[in-house]
Amino acid sequence: MLLARMLSPTVRGYVAVTDPIWLQRLRASQSREVNFWQPRPAALRQGSGTPWIFKVRGSGTIAGYGFLSYYTVMPVGVAWETFGISNGVESFAEMSRRISELRRNDGMNDSVGCVVLSEVVILPEMDYITAPQTWKPNTVRGEYYDLAWPTVKRSPP
């Protein structure tokens, strides 16, 4: 049912470059609602229900998907208290460290962008799917695609 919803001819989806450790932690926790946090908050141009596909960073594989519930900005501590291990980290200290590393010490804003995703499915590694050849291999942040079946094409932002 969810896959059919994602592959509807009128669905525009977002392919998010995803950290493999984040995926492993969330697969282990079996969280169905997660926070795909951003170290630097950036507004989204998507509506609730937009499919998010998790493309493993540094690979051409798809590891799972979820659907956008909402986006908000909150202090790191509040994000940890709200989502806990559904942030894809094991502790507040780990979350703070990873945010600092990703920001490359360019100043410590206490806020993170919180992309809250629901109905999340993370596949076992042996079931990862090869991304379509039409997808850009070196996307840094993410791309919008038309998820029409049988072809999946990049769509404008």
pLDDT digits (tens, 9 = 90+) for 122-138: 999 999 998 877 776 66
Q: What percent of the chain lies above the pLDDT cut of 70?
A: 77
pLDDT digits (tens, 9 = 90+) for 3-52: 555 555 567 788 888 899 999 999 999 899 999 998 888 878 788 999 99
CATH of the domain at 76: 2.30.130.30
pLDDT, residue 156, reads 44
Q: Is 153 among the domain residues?
A: no
Count CB neighbours of 84 within 10 A. Answer: 16
Q: Is 138 among the domain residues?
A: no
Q: How confident is the model at residue 157 (pLDDT cuts 50, 70, 90)?
A: very low
**Lowest-pLDDT range of 32-36, 108-112, 149-153:** 149-153
**Residues whose CB falls within 8 Å of the CB of residue 151, separated by 6 or more in sequence, listed in order:** 132, 134
Q: Is 147 among the domain residues?
A: no
Mean pLDDT of the chain: 82
Domain that holds residue 15: 2-131
Q: Is 157 among the domain residues?
A: no
Q: Is 43 among the domain residues?
A: yes
Q: Is 149 among the domain residues?
A: no
pLDDT digits (tens, 9 = 90+) for 46-105: 889 999 999 998 888 899 999 999 999 999 999 999 999 999 999 999 998 888 887 776
Q: Is 93 among the domain residues?
A: yes
Cα 6 from Cα 28, distance rounded (Å): 24
Q: Is 60 among the domain residues?
A: yes
**Residues whose CB falls within 8 Å of the CB of residue 123, separated by 6 or more in sequence, listed in order:** 27, 62, 63, 64, 129
3-state secondary structure of 92: helix
As for how many domains the chain has, the answer is 1
Cα 100 from Cα 141, distance rounded (Å): 17
Closest CA to 66 of 79, 52, 80: 52
